[in-house]
């Protein structure tokens, strides 16, 4: 594993160069909050507790940029980008003037972006691709080539040769004593092995005019090995036969291979696995994009039963509702036009990553970045080795960080149901149930103060009120939970119909809390109440919906109209986005 970057806090020049690296690459959240994932959203994907920062490239590239050394290597990586861009102009632009114009424009931009040796090659590539797409005005670049590949695989899948090769009995180890469950397992694993081998041979398959059964047999016979393959099979065997569905995020499929991936996914359904397929938002060479999903006739033919989630900012609740539906395959966009970059992926991708049990990386370029950086992720990452021999398929795994704590939907629901049971017991004893919604982290750098205010005031309410159970949500927080988890769990409790009084924090409550602490109200807290919190706004919306079903429930606090200025809490945050961001 490459060495980690250890910052020298006594070296301000290096600190400034690192800051310049993130701003020049448009990866600094502070500078580009509407484009770059917040630290909380990044934590859905990358384990950052032991890291000063995250960069979406190999350690070697980062070292070359930050240490201002090995410039030859960095320039070589830039040239590899140009070698991918130049053929697009040569092959796709027919008008000679536009072709020469694009060549010149892209060269100017390429020299400008690479001259300082601070740009990541992948970011240079994205900027050049954006210029190409905008100037060429081609709706779906390479669509003809992609559809040609998809058509070839579409025809292959419908052929007798493919079905005969896939269903060939050789390779099964069956005796008269072999149980039916074991036979089914062997069949599914053998088909899985054959399809993955065939998919790994996609370029050789494309080169064949009309592959015979013998050709397909040969392409399906590639040996598969590696820790990733072993872990993948073990996971499937663990999940098979369980009532609970498990989720895989299937990342970065390319043209042609995508339809073979769908055949693999059909096998995975036998193991109680639902799959979320992540595609690119915009054109990125031969990788499948959202536009391809919609417009490619061969993809459309195979995606009739698939739930295509077009929203790039789906909520946790809505995503879980979809995953729990009768659909088994979903398609989302990762929100990007480049290699795997958690700093720029969509909210939907980040939440899908977080809800998945493991991630299967199909893109070789994504795998290269993951394999050659020291960062750990929040889920097991299974990918093809970029250093393995050509004649073998070696699957690697980067295990999730051992300190990652995961709360599944089942875990959160169990916690909610335990709380509901406790409240039902108290209600049966004649107690009144009060839920207290308050600011937790809406004021920057005031999280600990907010918790103290909440604790002091709830204690005051409990002493002052007889026969009332006051719920302080902060008392039920567990390490590893983020705001998504907390909001999901509490909404289950809130909609249980057991709450008699739903109280929202007022400024008078805050004044009283500081009075009880023997302190004056600091400037940051003057005038604040629950309407300042987007989380509380969400809860007020829920409260009004619950009150329609249970009119006897009282709502105490600021009026509904005062809450309307906030609409959405920050992704994974215990504090809100700025008011300007949610207008």
pLDDT of residue 481: 84
CA distance 350 to 315: 11
The tens digit of pLDDT for each residue in 140-185 reads: 999 999 999 999 999 999 999 999 999 999 989 888 898 998 999 9
- Count of beta carbons in the 10 Å neighbourhood of residue 536: 26
pLDDT digits (tens, 9 = 90+) for 124-136: 999 999 999 999 9
Residue 45 lies in a domain: no
pLDDT tens sequence across 526-560: 999 999 887 898 899 999 999 999 999 999 999 98
Q: Distance of alpha carbon 509 from its chain centroid, rounded?
A: 39
- Of 488, 493, 486, 476, the C-alpha closest to 434 is 493
Range of the domain at 507: 409-581
Predicted pLDDT at 479? 81
pLDDT, tens digit, 9 for 90 and up, residues 450-487: 989 999 999 999 999 999 999 998 888 788 888 789 88
Q: Where is 225: in which H helix or E strand?
A: strand 223-225
Question: Residue range 10-29: average pLDDT?
Answer: 90
- Same domain as 434, residue 573: yes
When divided into structural domains, the chain yields a total of 3
- Give the per-residue pLDDT at 60: 95
Does the structure show a pLDDT above 60 at 1? no
CATH assignment of the domain containing 384: 3.40.50.10880
pLDDT digits (tens, 9 = 90+) for 278-295: 999 999 999 999 999 999
At residue 74, does pLDDT exceed 90?
yes
pLDDT at site 387: 78
Same domain, 121 and 222: no
pLDDT the model gives residue 4: 42
DSSP 28-50: -TTT-TTTSPPHHHHTTTB--TT
Least confident of 39-48, 75-84, 229-238, 383-392: 383-392
152 and 291 belong to one structural domain: yes
Residue whose pair of structure tokens reads 């629950």 in the numeric block: 530
If phi over 0 gives left and psi between -120 and 50 gives alpha, with beta otherwise, what is residue 364? alpha
Does one domain contain both 525 and 451? yes
7: in domain = no
**In a domain? residue 46:** no
Asked if the model's pLDDT at residue 254 lies above 80, the reply is: yes
* DSSP assignments along 389-446, one per residue: -TTEEEEEEEPPPTT-----HHHHHHHHHHHHHHHHHHHHTTPEEEEEE--SS-STT-
- The mean pLDDT of 355-376, rounded to a whole number, is 94
d(CA 546, CA 466): 25
Q: Tell me, yes or no, whether 2 lies in a domain.
A: no
The span from the CA of 487 to the CA of 412, in Å, is: 10
Q: For residues 467 and 340, state if they share a domain.
A: no
The SS3 of residue 362 is coil
pLDDT at 70 (0 to 100) = 83
Is residue 574's pLDDT more than 50? no
Q: How far apart are CA 508 and CA 528, in angstroms?
A: 9
CA distance 40 to 35: 14
Residue 77 sits in the same domain as residue 175: no
* Alpha carbons 506 and 439: distance in angstroms, whole number: 10
468-471 and 392-398 beta bridge pairing: unpaired
Last residue of a domain, one of 136, 160, 193: 136
Place of tokens 């209600």: 427
341 & 380 share domain: yes
Residues 421 and 541 in one domain: yes
pLDDT band of residue 571 (cuts 50, 70, 90) is low
247 located within any domain: yes
What would the pLDDT profile of 195-205 be if each residue is shown by its tens digit? 999 999 999 99
pLDDT surpasses 50 at 581: no
> Are residues 449 and 384 both part of a single domain?
no
Query: Would you state the pLDDT for residue 496?
Result: 96
pLDDT digits (tens, 9 = 90+) for 301-355: 999 999 999 999 999 999 999 999 999 999 999 999 999 999 999 999 999 999 9
- The phi, psi pair for 580, rounded to 5°, reads -65, -25
Give dist(CA 161, CA 172) in Å, integer. Answer: 20
Q: Do residue 223 and residue 117 come from a single domain? A: no
User: From CA 377, how far away is CA 361, in angstroms rounded?
Assistant: 13
Pair 511, 521: CB distance under 8 Å: yes
Q: Is 75 exposed, middle or buried (0-12, 13-18, 19+ CB in 10 A)?
A: middle
- The answer, yes or no, to whether residue 577 has pLDDT greater than 80, is no
Give the domain-ending residue among 112, 136, 160: 136
In this predicted model, what pLDDT tens digit does every residue of 447-458 receive, in sequence order?
Answer: 889 989 999 999
From 136, 161, 182, the end of a domain falls on 136
User: Per-residue pLDDT for 567 more than 70?
Assistant: no
What is the pLDDT, as a whole number, of residue 9?
A: 59
Query: If we measure between CA atoms, which residue out of 482, 470, 474 comes closest to residue 448?
Result: 474
d(CA 469, CA 428) in angstroms, rounded, equals 12
Same-domain status, 336 and 438: no
Q: Are residues 367 and 483 in the same domain?
A: no
The larger pLDDT score, comparing residue 391 to residue 104, is at 104
In a domain, 461, yes or no: yes
Asked whether residue 310 is assigned to any structural domain, the reply reads yes
- Give the mean pLDDT of 396-414: 93
In a domain, 5, yes or no: no
CB neighbour burial string for 240-275, b if at least 16 within 10 angstroms, e if fewer? beeeeebbbbbbbbbbbbbbbbbbbbebbebbbbbb
């Amino acid at each position: 594993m490459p060495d980690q970057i250890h910052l020298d806090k006594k070296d301000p020049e290096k600190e400034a160069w690192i800051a310049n690296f993130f701003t020049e690459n448009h990866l600094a959240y502070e500078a580009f909050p509407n484009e770059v994932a917040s630290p909380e959203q990044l934590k859905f994907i990358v384990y950052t507790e032991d890291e000063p920062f995250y960069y979406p490239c190999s350690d070697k590239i980062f070292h070359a940029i930050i240490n201002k050394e090995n410039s030859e290597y960095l320039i070589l990586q830039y040239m590899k980008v140009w070698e991918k861009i130049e053929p697009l102009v040569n092959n796709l632009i027919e008008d000679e003037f536009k072709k020469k114009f694009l060549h010149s424009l892209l060269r100017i931009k390429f020299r400008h972006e690479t001259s300082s040796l601070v740009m990541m090659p992948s970011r240079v590539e994205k900027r050049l691709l954006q210029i190409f797409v905008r100037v060429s005005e081609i709706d779906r670049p390479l669509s003809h080539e992609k559809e040609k590949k998809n058509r070839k695989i579409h025809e292959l899948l419908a052929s007798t040769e493919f079905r005969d090769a896939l269903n060939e009995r050789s390779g099964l180890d069956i005796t008269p004593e072999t149980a039916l469950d074991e036979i089914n397992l062997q069949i599914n694993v053998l088909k899985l092995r054959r399809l993955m081998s065939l998919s790994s041979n996609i370029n050789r398959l494309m080169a064949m005019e009309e592959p015979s059964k013998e050709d397909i047999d040969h392409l399906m016979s590639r040996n598969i090995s590696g820790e990733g393959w072993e872990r993948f099979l073990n996971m499937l065997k663990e999940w098979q036969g369980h009532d609970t569905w498990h989720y895989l995020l299937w990342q970065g499929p390319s043209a042609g291979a995508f339809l073979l991936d769908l055949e693999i996914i059909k096998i995975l359904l036998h193991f109680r696995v639902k799959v979320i397929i992540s595609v690119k938002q915009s054109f990125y060479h031969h990788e499948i994009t959202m536009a391809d999903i919609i417009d490619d006739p061969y993809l459309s033919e195979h995606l009739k039963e698939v739930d295509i989630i077009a929203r790039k900012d789906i909520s946790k609740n809505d995503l879980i509702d979809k995953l729990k539906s009768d659909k088994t395959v979903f398609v989302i966009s990762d929100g990007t036009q480049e290699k795997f970059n958690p700093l720029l992926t969509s909210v939907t991708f980040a939440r899908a990553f977080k809800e998945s049990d493991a991630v299967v990386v199909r893109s070789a370029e994504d795998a290269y970045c993951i394999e050659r950086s020291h960062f750990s992720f929040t889920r097991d990452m299974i990918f093809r080795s970029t250093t393995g021999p050509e004649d073998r398929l070696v699957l690697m795994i980067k295990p999730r960080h051992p300190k990652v704590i995961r709360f599944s939907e089942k875990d959160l629901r169990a916690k909610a149901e335990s709380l509901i049971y406790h409240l039902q017991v108290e209600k049966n004893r004649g107690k009144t149930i009060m839920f207290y919604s308050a600011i937790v982290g809406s004021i920057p750098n005031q999280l600990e103060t907010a918790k103290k205010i909440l604790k002091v005031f709830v204690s005051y309410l409990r002493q002052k009120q007889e026969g009332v159970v006051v719920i302080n949500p902060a008392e039920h927080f567990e390490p590893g939970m983020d705001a998504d988890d907390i909001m999901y769990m509490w909404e289950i409790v809130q909609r249980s119909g057991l709450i008699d009084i739903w109280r929202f924090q007022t400024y008078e409550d805050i004044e009283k809390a500081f009075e009880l602490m023997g302190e004056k109200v600091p400037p940051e807290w003057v005038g604040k109440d629950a309407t300042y919190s987007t989380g509380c706004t969400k809860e007020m919306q829920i409260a009004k919906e619950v009150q329609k079903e249970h009119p006897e429930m009282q709502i105490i606090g600021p009026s509904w109209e005062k809450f309307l200025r906030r609409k959405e809490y920050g992704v994974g945050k215990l504090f809100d986005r700025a008011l300007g961001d949610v207008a």
